Structure 1
Amino acid sequence: MPPSTTVLSPPNPPPTPGTPPPLPEASGCPRQVLGIAHLAVSLGIVLATDKCLSEAFAAASIMFPSALFGMFCVFSVLVVLDAVAPALAKVLMDFFEPAALFIQRWLPLFYVPSLVVLPLAVRDVPAASGLKISLIISGGWFASLMVAGYTVLAVRKIVKTELIAAEPMSKPSPFAILEFWAWGAVFVASFATAFLNPTALGTTARTCLPFLLASTVLGYMIGSRLPSGIKKVFHPIICSAFSADLAAVAYGHLSGSGFDAALGDYLTKVPSNPGAGDVLMGFLGSVIISFAFSMFKQRKLMKRHAAEIFTSIAVASTFSLYSTAILGRLTGLEPTLTISILPRCITVALALSIVSFFEGANTSVTAAVVVLTGLIGANFVQAAMDKLGLNDPIARGIGTASSAHGQGTAALSAKEPEALPFCAVAYALTGIFGTLICSSAAVRQSLVFIAG
């Protein structure tokens, strides 16, 4: 998602995307309440759809990601409605826009839990293996960027499709001072409660949930307001994870439970006893479903540049998976760790679905590697593309998203709005294509064979 920036608001500013639009002054308060209700209902429907599909797929023992199926269904419904009743399709898009913007605004937070619990995830990973993984994700990111970008340029020379303006992309609102104070109050009150009575809400995980969630959110909001120069080395996601870990250290020390126990309460992976990380990662399926709305919005763009988009994404996704397996084999990385980092260039929500197809994969390592790949891309993608001569907006957009998914997309969007629509489309389609090919038993077996 695009990084938040503070701007001076003119008198009587226009409605800000991602927040309820105000009515005239006389009825502003009722309209705000109505807007909040609209957000709650639309987001609730998306979350409920994801949960129902997940339970149905689990009951039927279907391995294919349920959220991806939901995304296809939503996109198909919108396309059909657009053909037979365009006005109804617009109504549906408008109804779910608050939910889509909410997800876009908080998207980086859904990646953070994997970084927060990284100290536990990598504890059993040897230092030599960690170094190999670092080399694979840094070199692999650059190689994936080259393959995606140059594939676009090659296809564009063949099809010679003229580039036209894309549909404008809505941007979420910046964080208000009131939000800082509200989350700060939640942190102080809930931290004190957990310290005085660690089981006030039944379990330590539930009792610690509010202040650990607040510390994660506050870290992200503070990181989003840092100067751009600092963000290059201290990305808002890192700031968010650091803030949550700091809160866990403080609570573990003051309560005597220890840092490891606090991290265990942060991400329990137990639905009946969720922690703050479980709440945040619970949105990952909804992120995938929300792709349907961004893809539908850019449907004309996808149709016009289908050759460039689909060819480059297919080539880049396949290259990313197989090159990672090959590099893992060549460097002597343990096969289970190689399998765990296969979807390094795919957004967390779908990366976790992909490794679930394989036995023995470490999902914590998967999520952490995906986030680290995104951080590398967010910091270096523009400079790298300039050096590589990737000046075409389509090549820049698809190259960025295919190599660094959402975080790279966020970094590019602030300075290159003409490339953003291609980023948004490639961001979704890269994960979709990777999931589709990995759902094939033959592909999985070949990757396992290569990995050793």
Structure 2
Amino acid sequence: MQLVRNMAQLVVSLGILVAADKLVEQAFAAASIKFPSALFAMFCVFALLLLLPPSLANGFMAFFDPATVFIHRWLPLFFVPSLVVLPLAVRDVSPASALKILFITFGGWFASLVVAGYTALSVRRIVKTQLIPAEPMKRPSPFGPLEFWAWAAVFVASFAVAYVSPTALGTTATTCLPFLLASTVFGYILGSRLPSGVKKVLHPIICCALSADLAAVAYGYLSRSGVDAVLGDYLTESPSNPGAGDILMGFLGSVIISFAFSMFNQRKLVRRHAAEIFTSIAVASTFSLYSTAILGRVVELEPILTISILPRCITVALALRVVSLFEGVNTSVTAAVVVLTGLIGANFAQAVMDKLRLKDPIARGIGTASSAHGLGTAAVSAKEPEALPFCAIAYALTGVVASLFCSLPAIRHSLVFIAGDASASQTQHFSY
């Protein structure tokens, strides 16, 4: 009975977050407002929690706790769709441009880490605020053998049904949806269960994307429909005919709204260390955006690709909404660069900070999350529990601050101009 109640609470709480995201998104679209709708919803939830009496706020948090735990447990899945269809998106990107993007990604990550870490350290030395214990943070439960084999069975069964009876479910996107979704989930669970040494090379996100791509290749070959057609059905961006990727990306707005709960849970920490947190994040976010635009101009990367990778240090959930404020961007390249930045940070952030003598937990937490968002945060959580709360705060706020900046027409104009597309900066319409 308790299990049934828990499942019902999860479904209802998660359903409310998803429904709220869609309603606000539709309202913003109807009003032609360019500001990210999910970010507005997040601010509303956070403000509501602050205004409610403590008992009601705690009850509100408890009710949505299953939804936030679910989101954190499956978070990488919602980032993957753009990576899965990356083979279709990068065909127009030349090898020279790809090398330039890699240079900007690696160099930009290191520079952002240095700027964020030393800014936090400098402000910390000025304010001299004593570090206080953070609120405990729940960690999602690991995936067990039952989940692994259950999703493996679902994948095999759904693949067989799609192959034997491809027209039974109607459209090709609907036919491919079950097995592509199952292959994505199975790949993530498989990647999560790999030894830690293997994960440094084959991160669960990479394993997840490869699993879906291999499933698409297999079905495209056996059905003779071709891998391009199958991948095209993975992310259709059509509300009336969604693919597996559209289902997963439909949770991105809920991910952003869930930031309100984590920030509220750490409100005492934010209030006490506001100077270090907000100064560092504002400086790091501004530096990341403008340094990317400048580097793109210096190495003569195509302006539209430079604009596509501007939010390289922001979590995918907000990065895709930031680049949607610009015209003609390649969102798959955006997602790929964001994930690559996170993987770099997850593997090298701690070693680099040790070399730079960044020992302060606030500087380490903010530096890691401001340069490598959620993947860097996940890496720190396993080894540096004292830095984790600051990672979690910076992880959310970096995306929030960068989104706020890019919602200002003047900043968008300047970024486009620096990237090298002066004509686009004059012709874009930035309506609210």
**For residue 90 of structure 2, what is the amino acid of its counterpart?**
V
Q: Please, which of 321, 334, 352 is the counterpart of residue 320 of structure 2?
A: 352
Q: Please, which of 15, 22, 44 is the counterpart of residue 15 of structure 2?
A: 44
Q: Please, which of 64, 89, 109 is the counterpart of residue 35 of structure 2?
A: 64
**For residue 174 of structure 1, what is the amino acid of its counterpart?**
P
> Aligned partners of 1:239 and 1:353: how far apart in 2?
25
Matching residue of 1:444: 412
**For residue 155 of structure 1, what is the amino acid of its counterpart?**
V
Q: Report how far residue 195 of structure 1 moved.
A: 0.4
Provide structure 2 residue ranges, at least 5 long, that are not aligned to the other structure. Answer: 421-432
Query: Normalising to structure 2: TM-score of the pair?
Result: 0.96
Q: Please, which of 352, 374, 387 is the counterpart of residue 419 of structure 1?
A: 387
> Aligned partners of 1:252 and 1:311: how far apart in 2?
51
Q: Report how far residue 59 of structure 1 moved.
A: 0.7
> Aligned partners of 1:96 and 1:65: how far apart in 2?
22
**For residue 238 of structure 2, what is the amino acid of its counterpart?**
V
Matched, 1:207 2:179: no
Matching residue of 2:161: 193
Q: Report how far residue 181 of structure 1 moved.
A: 2.1
Provide structure 1 residue ranges, at least 5 long, that are not aligned to the other structure. Answer: 1-29
Deviation string, structure 1 residues 56-100 (Cα, Å, up to 9, x no partner): 11111110011000000000000011xxx2111110000000000
Matched, 1:322 2:290: yes
Residue 332 of structure 1 aligns to a residue in which SS?
coil
Query: Normalising to structure 1: TM-score of the pair?
Result: 0.92
Matching residue of 2:85: 117
> Aligned partners of 2:171 and 2:326: how far apart in 1?
33
Q: Report how far residue 409 of structure 1 moved.
A: 0.6
Deviation beyond 3 Å, 4+ runs, structure 1? none
Matched, 1:235 2:203: yes
> Aligned partners of 2:59 and 2:375: how far apart in 1?
30
Residue 446 of structure 1 aligns to a residue in which SS?
helix
**For residue 393 of structure 2, what is the amino acid of its counterpart?**
V
Deviation string, structure 1 residues 142-185 (Cα, Å, up to 9, x no partner): 10000000000000010000011100000111112221122122
**For residue 13 of structure 2, what is the amino acid of its counterpart?**
S
Residue 314 of structure 2 aligns to a residue in which SS?
coil
Structure 1 stretch displaced more, 172-181 or 138-147? 172-181
> Aligned partners of 1:92 and 1:366: how far apart in 2?
35
Deviation string, structure 1 residues 345-380 (Cα, Å, up to 9, x no partner): 001111111111112211111111111111111111
> Aligned partners of 1:238 and 1:124: how far apart in 2?
22
Matching residue of 1:388: 356
Q: Report how far residue 199 of structure 1 moved.
A: 2.4
Matching residue of 1:182: 150
Matched, 1:311 2:279: yes
Q: Report how far residue 431 of structure 1 moved.
A: 0.5
Structure 1 stretch displaced more, 198-207 or 431-440? 198-207
> Aligned partners of 1:271 and 1:385: how far apart in 2?
44
> Aligned partners of 1:322 and 1:89: how far apart in 2?
38
Q: How many equivalent pairs are there?
A: 420
